[in-house]
């Protein structure tokens, strides 16, 4: 019997699916290391490592309506990629499905946020886990650079926004964050509050009906995720990120896992990225039961 | 636009296809290094490196009826894998299509040979490129070990058989080869004859209407193919192997590329393996024009 | 002066030894990644990194009667390997020595458990550190698959059994564990109890005179042990595992460190595995002083 | 004594230099693998492997006026990078020095060619070693894509052009080459002619006073150069490339070594690239004696 | 615009600099793994990953007077290297600048300590973070072996000395430490006290005006720093080390980061090492404001 | 059944052995890359890849009296290592056995040459395959540097000396070679003569009864042997080296394979090194039949 290699347990066709996975092998604006173009396929390979059953939620992923749509055909120009991707993701959200993106670089989050925002009923917000503010207006002459994604979310979508794990940025970004009352949490703050308390605090702060949840994997400490475009020491633990995902997934209309560069380790980071996708789906599905 | 990651230029559906690619991620009897389980996906990734056009044959692969059927669901037990695979490949040959296998270990060749033999019209033969004789009756207690595949082809299918690139085996295998008048060529013999002359000589020797062509990548010198289960120095050049494939593809009813272990280099061997598949298809298709 | 490369500080001959180390380079049923066949030699190489003196126990390993018996000659068939290994390990236990196995895959633990159980005086138990339940009856058509080892321990040896670090398994395994009152601890439970309390609780639960202690390295978080057959995020810390070993070694009649696949990192996991072996021996020897 | 890490034997300051080395860590349009951004520094590291003396030419590089200008500050946008680089290289050629670029991707060759052409006295030509035609007008929506560099040389600089090692391209490129009487040599033609004869033939064909010589390292067979952006089997040997460089360096006003992606091997390709730069300089300097 | 590849944000010339960085690519006495010769350049490459701004201290490194002097020209003989390095570092300290060394192996710390001690006003001390005591008098016949550096500091410079993270050494070293009342902290002690309390305790113990701070990266747990000459499990966390650096930098007259062997991971350890250098400089500069 | 991991087919004990293999994990004077300390064990692991039977010579290595003595206990100081090694190898040659060394760096060849010279009956010579002359009197302050080994052979043992594959050295070495009528062959000369003719020419030139044969693996082209201390492009092919070994082994009283640094590739170079050892033994043994 032959099977198409892809995300394990993504057994549904598009029509019946509630969760639509897709990869975007695009890393053209990556500032330090390129290579996140290989992450979607690496996460698919890594998924064969896992049992379909999630005991915490008593959910079997093989029984959920998950579809793997494959990879987005990405060109070289970030503006074109973002606008084309926007259309495809809007298709998914308009069909009432939850888009789950496997990056690729963080710039790709913007069109997914937009697609989810457009379709959102009620108040909409965005939560980003990231070591970096990504609040620049443009970087290296490129507006939609991966280092600017949060700024464009704030300006083009919503300022109902929280970012977690932040510990790096030029002074201008820290000032911008403070001047604009952006809600952010450093890793130390996450640890001292605890993930569960933090999740409650964020929910209260955002006070919204649905969110988009974006995970730039560099939010994590490199001990857990060494293979990244811009790894930043002193980050979140994998348990903290897991618990934040578990807490926020139920209200999420879209999710992504970004910035993994699989050629810089022996699989560790892609395995963790794939696991987070599975936790997200299980947590979301469990909340629907 | 989303696409399913797979062999590039394999754009046909099964029904319309003339060439049916599939991977078999199985390496359970590998004697030295395991890891050929990762080769089918590595060759698919590598295929994105290539232009669809083959100038030597003036053939565009994107215009040929090539189908990528995905990977065979292989268990742990070699006997079960071989018998199940046998059925699936027989399905392909019975539909009049050419099976092209991406191994996986060399033991997997036997069921493909059998499927092609059963369906062959006229006289049938087998050509194996390999550093090793693979003539043992059994190895490490396993009859269908990867080190025995040629012996079983001889015993169970046909002795209309030639092997190219041989340079390694226990004395018993060399004696068996000589005692049974097995036609083999060492790399030195290939080089001194030249690939084109060799191909003619083999065609004459076999005197048959169709063959199965099996490429154990260790036929090549490790300079060209370092990432293998059992790399053996002093082998064939990539040009020699290419020219043998070009010469024999037109009469081939099936083909495989086996024993690549992609984790032992930075892509070099999988890229070459994917290229040989493309040369095979182009050469075969060109002969049909 | 020449020396045989091997486990450093394993200076005793077999006769005078109390601890007999051996490797089993066997990984034929590994479900995700193969490669634990290379782990015994990798742990031996890694051992050159360490001082012979253990300050916590005030024990010098170079002064202990440790013998490195080399590697077990493993064929391809798991049934044969297990039954042959069974004999060899029984030889060790019958000579009153403590067998310490360097895997290889986890299926190899069963014959060691049996050998220790047979020789045990008084009540015997088993403690397994593992991310996985390994409670399947068979997997992929193979009864003695590495994913089934705990089930066979329970059925063929003893149900005086505890497993630590568990966080992955199909629903059937979680149900089986609950239905059969199997004592297991998730990593979160280990962290919240603390290793020392846990050890006391386990000792009380087992209420036995001696145990076999098996460490499937995937019990650990991939931050500490990335090079594994089936790495599972959200695992134990290296300190937790160390302290459990320290606590249980004194009552252990056998020990193993399994499932390391050294080609997936730069030495980190094999170094940790070798360290655990040294901690086990030091802890055991200290308790005899 | 401290020294600035850089190209070994590049001991001259800019003013006194006749050869000006520089790196351009830019790979944003790379189609298959990115990573040539790391090649300039990798070639500098590799240069410490070599003796300063070249016995073939009886030249000591440490005595030649070689300057390492460092790396070009490259942004994300290829158009900006090319136009800024153009100015800097023009500065070098206007100062009467020979620019030697360490890529980075092949698109960067165009501004160097232009700078050399502008400054050339007499008839000017271009020789490109490449597996690919690079004759597309644009690729993936990007005019100055690395896959288009030769087309732009032909259109914007000169059609006094030869390319060596070509074996890959879409049918359109092969047709374009034939329709426009572009002089190209496949690897087989190079081998059958011999490098020395080929060099004479090219000199005669070009009939010019000076050339720019560009080495896309994928002209080489992956056996010699596995770490590349788009490795293509069946290429030139390292001796053939060396002899072509030796033959053409004396008439070259500029040179580059492009498309090495050092993270895909253990140093082999960067070492060879650094060696070619040293052969180029020695050959050029020897011709001035 | 060209720039010399080097430590990012080290924009000052020597004369105006307050912080003078230099690398020493020397690893000839390394006992387990060599390769720290590549660490200085690896940390320079890694520095491009970071923002210049340090938000904790509200300091922008690009505005500080940091100079990268390049690499020390190290021969093969450790005695010669140490005595020559001694002169060069003394030049730096005599100019009133703070030397920051990127090793290379730990033996290189001694000449830096001496240079700082000679120039120190008031009482001088030394703090070493290390998994190992490094208290041997000589090792493998070499007095100035990397395994002896702390002993020579004690004997040749000062016994106003503290070491943090110690967990490995022969019994003789533990005895020596106790017999000589050497102040040391195991990782467990660091964790139980907390870094801030520890720093205060150390400051009180040393009771001195300035110190030299040496970071043998193996003080860290391999989860944070896998690529080391002699990685030792059960070490400090990256946060603990960061906080100790933050606490002690203000009183430090010199600093080093030693023993990274970058070829054993995908960049994780060199990135962390570069980060610690940046934390040191920011913490020191902030204390001067 | 347990076996000691070691060179496969080295089944004899020391007393009955005719061939005594040993490793010397020493690389302290290596100028570019260290790491040949890991080569002996890497070649032992690689040996499991090969059949015991050599068909060219109709010799089964498992039937020959080969002993693996293990590794030499090497300290840090090259002078001490050479003098101690000298004694151990002299023990082997005095017992009438052929020493076969697995380096380690090339400096180690000198004591082996001396031991063989002392014991030689009749006229003695030395043949070295190397990319480098190794004719310096001292290097980086170290007389017995790996870059000086041939000079010391000439001065301390015999000038009955030939070196093959030479293509790199400072002008002083080329002059020294010419001034002293040293017989050397560049790779181009080897190729144009052919290995067999070359062997005859060398035998005639040396006109001696026995030789020591030393293979610095960098004699080979990096396509065949990328993992080396100082890889040098444009070298010998693996067939040329094999045929030189086959030709000279019968008159060799000692042999070595040096300078492999296994961490720089995926096994390719160590596999080839192990193969050459097997070819040497087979060729020597065949000549005794
Ligand atoms: Mn981001
Ligand atoms: Mn980020
Ligand atoms: Mn085979
Ligand atoms: Mn084979
Ligand atoms: Mn297990
Ligand atoms: Mn497990
Ligand atoms: Mn090109
Ligand atoms: Mn190209
Ligand atoms: Mn130290
Ligand atoms: Mn240390
Ligand atoms: Mn040499
Ligand atoms: Mn050499």
Q: How confident is the model at residue C5 (pLDDT cuts 50, 70, 90)?
A: confident
- Tell me the CA–centroid distance for residue B10 and ligand 8, in Å: 24
Annotated binding-site residue numbers of C for Mn(2+):
106, 130, 132, 134, 216, 218
What are A184's strand-pairing partners? A163
pLDDT at D114: 97
CA dihedral A150, A153, A156, A159 (to 10 degrees): -100
Give the environment of ion ligand 12: residues with CB less than 5 A: F 130-132, 216, 218
The rounded distance, in Å, linking the Cα atoms of B272 and D233 is 6
> How far off is chain A from D87, nearest CA to CA, in Å?
18
Does CATH place domain D14-288 in 3.40.800.10? yes
For the record, the structure tokens of E31 come out as 């006992």
Tell me the percentage of chain A whose pLDDT exceeds 70. 100
Do residue E222 and residue C266 have CB atoms under 8 angstroms apart?
no
Distance of CA E118 to the CA centre of its chain: 18
Looking at the partner chain, which of E168, E170, E226 has a beta carbon nearest the beta carbon of C265?
E226
Tell me the percentage of chain F whose pLDDT exceeds 90. 97
C226 touches C265 (CB < 8 A): yes
User: Reduced to 3 states, what is the DSSP secondary structure of residue D236?
Assistant: strand
> What's the mean pLDDT in C269-288?
98
Q: Which residues of D touch A263 (CB under 8 A)?
A: 263
In total, chain E counts a number of residues equal to: 289
pLDDT at A73: 95
Among residues F49, F37, F121, F120, the alpha carbon closest in space to that of F81 is found at: F37
Tell me the percentage of chain D whose pLDDT exceeds 70. 100
> What's the mean pLDDT in E137-160?
94
Phi, psi angles (nearest 5°) of residue A220: -80, 155
Do residue A169 and residue E60 have CB atoms under 8 angstroms apart?
no
> What's the mean pLDDT in D184-194?
98
E229 touches E218 (CB < 8 A): yes
What DSSP string runs through B72-118?
A: E---S-HHHHHHHHHHHHHHHHHTT-EEEEEES-GGGHHHHHHHHHH
Q: Which residues of D touch B238 (CB under 8 A)?
A: 221, 223, 233-234
Q: Which residues of A touch C263 (CB under 8 A)?
A: 266
Q: Do chains D and C touch (3 or more CB pairs under 8 A)?
A: no
**CA angle in degrees (0–180, nearest 5) for F26-F31-F35:** 40
CA dihedral B49, A230, A199, C167 (to 10 degrees): 60
Nearest chain B Cα to A37, which residue?
A: B45
- Per residue in B251-275, pLDDT (tens digit) is 999 999 999 999 999 999 999 999 9
Residue D39 predicted with pLDDT over 90: yes
Strands F183-185 and B19-24: unpaired
Among residues B281, B247, B268, B257, the alpha carbon closest in space to that of B53 is found at: B281
Which residue's structure tokens are 């070990």? B145
The rounded distance, in Å, linking the Cα atoms of D122 and D133 is 27
Give the number of other CB atoms < 10 A from CB of residue E189: 13
Residue D1 predicted with pLDDT over 90: no
Q: How does DSSP classify residue B120? A: -
Give the number of other CB atoms < 10 A from CB of residue C193: 15
Q: Which H or E run includes F23? A: strand F19-24
Looking at the partner chain, which of C51, C239, C272 has a beta carbon nearest the beta carbon of E170?
C51
Do residue C231 and residue A49 have CB atoms under 8 angstroms apart?
yes
Do residue B53 and residue D171 have CB atoms under 8 angstroms apart?
yes
Nearest chain F Cα to B224, which residue?
A: F223
The rounded distance, in Å, linking the Cα atoms of C210 and C96 is 13
Helix and strand counts by DSSP (H, E) for chain A: 9, 11
Q: Which of A215, A220, A225, A267 to mutate: most C Cβ within 10 Å?
A: A267
Looking at the partner chain, which of D77, D142, D263 has a beta carbon nearest the beta carbon of A141?
D77
> How far off is chain F from E34, nearest CA to CA, in Å?
6
How far from C29 is each of B31, C37, C109, C218, CA to CA, in Å? 14, 11, 13, 16
Question: Does residue D104 have a cis peptide bond before it, meaning omega lies within 30 degrees of 0?
Answer: yes
Q: Which residues of C touch F45 (CB under 8 A)?
A: 38, 41
D274 touches D50 (CB < 8 A): yes
Do residue F35 and residue E37 have CB atoms under 8 angstroms apart?
no
pLDDT at B1: 84
In total, chain B counts a number of residues equal to: 289
- Tell me the CA–centroid distance for residue D92 and ligand 2, in Å: 38
Residue E1 predicted with pLDDT over 90: no
The rounded distance, in Å, linking the Cα atoms of D97 and D91 is 9
Contacts of D128 (CB under 8 A, 6+ apart): D109, D134, D149, D150, D153, D161, D162, D163, D164, D214, D216
Do residue D29 and residue A77 have CB atoms under 8 angstroms apart?
no
Report residues of chain B scoring pLDDT below 70: none
E148-155: list long-range contacts, CB under 8 Å, 24+ apart. E148/E107, E149/E106, E149/E107, E149/E109, E149/E110, E149/E214, E152/E110, E153/E109, E153/E110, E153/E113, E153/E126, E153/E128, E154/E180, E154/E182
pLDDT at E5: 87
Nearest chain F Cα to C23, which residue?
A: F2
Strands F59-60 and E252-258: unpaired
What are D228's strand-pairing partners? D260
B52 touches D170 (CB < 8 A): yes
- Per residue in D210-261, pLDDT (tens digit) is 999 999 999 999 999 999 999 999 999 999 999 999 999 999 999 999 999 9
How far from C190 is each of A58, A237, C159, CA to CA, in Å? 21, 17, 21
> What's the mean pLDDT in F273-282?
98
Give the number of other CB atoms < 10 A from CB of residue B94: 11
The rounded distance, in Å, linking the Cα atoms of D90 and D81 is 14
- Per residue in E21-69, pLDDT (tens digit) is 999 999 999 999 999 999 999 999 999 999 999 999 999 999 999 999 9
Do residue A77 and residue D35 have CB atoms under 8 angstroms apart?
no
Among residues B39, B21, B272, B26, the alpha carbon closest in space to that of B146 is found at: B26
Among residues C1, A22, A9, C282, the alpha carbon closest in space to that of F25 is found at: C1
Nearest chain D Cα to B278, which residue?
A: D233
The ligand minimizing its distance to the Cα of D230 is 8
User: Reduced to 3 states, what is the DSSP secondary structure of residue A12?
Assistant: coil
For the four alpha carbons of D256, D258, D264 and D269, in that order, the dihedral sign comes to: negative
Annotated binding-site residue numbers of E for Mn(2+):
106, 130, 132, 134, 216, 218
What are D256's strand-pairing partners? D101, D214
Do residue E55 and residue A167 have CB atoms under 8 angstroms apart?
yes
Q: Which residues of A touch E242 (CB under 8 A)?
A: 233-234
Phi-psi region of C3 (alpha: psi -120 to 50; beta: other; left: phi over 0): beta
CB of D79 within 8 Å of a chain A CB? The answer is no
What does the pLDDT profile of chain A (289 residues) look like in tens digits?
Answer: 899 889 999 999 999 999 999 999 999 999 899 999 999 999 999 999 999 999 999 999 999 999 999 999 999 999 999 999 999 999 999 999 999 999 999 999 999 999 999 999 899 999 999 999 999 999 988 999 999 999 999 999 999 999 999 999 999 999 999 999 999 999 999 999 999 999 999 999 998 999 999 999 999 999 999 999 999 999 999 999 999 999 999 999 999 999 999 999 999 999 999 999 999 999 999 999 8
The rounded distance, in Å, linking the Cα atoms of B19 and B98 is 5
**CA angle in degrees (0–180, nearest 5) for D131-D133-D139:** 115
Q: Range with the lowest mean pLDDT among B29-33, C63-67, D2-6, E233-237?
A: D2-6
Residue D5 predicted with pLDDT over 90: no
CA atoms within a 13 Å half-sphere pointing along the CA-CB vector of A90: 12
Give the number of other CB atoms < 10 A from CB of residue E75: 15
Q: How does DSSP classify residue B22? A: E
Q: Which residues of A touch B72 (CB under 8 A)?
A: 1-2
Q: Which residues of E touch D1 (CB under 8 A)?
A: 72-73, 84, 88
Do residue E3 and residue D40 have CB atoms under 8 angstroms apart?
no
What are D255's strand-pairing partners? D100, D213
**Interface contacts A/C by beta carbons within 8 Å:** 58
Helix and strand counts by DSSP (H, E) for chain F: 9, 11
Q: How confident is the model at residue E164 (pLDDT cuts 50, 70, 90)?
A: very high
Among residues A35, F102, D45, F270, the alpha carbon closest in space to that of B264 is found at: F270
Strands B98-103 and B53-54: unpaired
- Per residue in B165-183, pLDDT (tens digit) is 999 999 999 999 999 999 9
Residue F273 predicted with pLDDT over 90: yes
CB of A27 within 8 Å of a chain D CB? The answer is yes
B124 touches B209 (CB < 8 A): yes
Q: Do chains E and B touch (3 or more CB pairs under 8 A)?
A: no
What are A2's strand-pairing partners? B72
CB of E223 within 8 Å of a chain C CB? The answer is yes
> What's the mean pLDDT in F33-40?
98
For the four alpha carbons of B183, B187, B193 and B195, in that order, the dihedral sign comes to: positive
Nearest chain F Cα to C81, which residue?
A: F1
- Tell me the CA–centroid distance for residue C258 and ligand 6, in Å: 9
Q: Which of C29, C34, C136, C266 to mutate: most B Cβ within 10 Å?
A: C34
How far from B251 is each of B123, B248, B277, D9, CA to CA, in Å? 11, 6, 15, 57
Q: Which H or E run includes E212? A: strand E210-216
Looking at the partner chain, which of F27, F140, F142 has a beta carbon nearest the beta carbon of E34?
F27
Is the pTM above the cut of 0.80?
yes
The rounded distance, in Å, linking the Cα atoms of D142 and B57 is 30
pLDDT at E42: 98
b or e along D130-169 (b: 16 or more beta carbons within 10 Å of the residue's beta carbon)? bbbbbbbeebbebbbbbbbbbbbbbeebbebbbbbbbbbb
Among residues F155, E238, A88, A50, the alpha carbon closest in space to that of B2 is found at: A88
E284 touches E97 (CB < 8 A): no
Q: Is the ipTM of this complex over 0.95?
A: yes
């Amino acid at each position: 019997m032959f099977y198409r290699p892809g995300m394990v347990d993504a057994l549904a066709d598009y029509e019946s699916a509630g969760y639509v996975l897709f990869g975007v092998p695009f890393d053209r604006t990556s500032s330090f290391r390129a290579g996140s173009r290989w992450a979607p396929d690496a996460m698919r390979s890594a998924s064969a490592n896992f049992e379909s059953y999630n005991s915490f939620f008593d959910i079997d992923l093989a029984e959920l309506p998950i579809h793997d749509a494959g990879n987005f055909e990405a060109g070289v120009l970030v503006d074109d990629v973002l606008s084309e991707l926007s259309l495809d993701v809007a298709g998914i959200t308009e069909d009432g499905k939850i888009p789950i993106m496997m990056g690729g670089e963080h710039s790709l989050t913007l069109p997914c946020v937009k697609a989810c925002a457009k379709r959102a009923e009620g108040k909409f917000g965005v939560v980003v886990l990231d070591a970096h503010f990504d609040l620049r207006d443009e970087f290296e002459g490129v507006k939609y650079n991966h280092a600017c994604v949060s700024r464009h979310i704030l300006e083009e979508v919503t300022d109902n926004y929280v970012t977690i794990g932040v510990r790096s940025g030029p002074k201008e970004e820290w000032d911008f964050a403070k001047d604009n009352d952006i809600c952010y949490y450093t890793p130390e703050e996450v640890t001292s509050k605890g993930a569960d308390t933090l999740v409650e605090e964020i929910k209260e702060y955002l006070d919204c009906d649905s969110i988009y949840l974006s995970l730039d994997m560099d939010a994590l400490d490199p001990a857990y995720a060494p293979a990244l475009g811009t790894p930043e020491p002193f980050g979140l633990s994998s348990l903290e990120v897991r618990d934040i995902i578990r807490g926020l997934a139920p209200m999420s209309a879209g999710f992504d896992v970004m910035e993994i560069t699989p050629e810089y380790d022996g699989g560790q980071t892609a395995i963790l990225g794939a696991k987070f996708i599975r936790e997200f789906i299980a947590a979301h599905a469990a909340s629907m039961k």
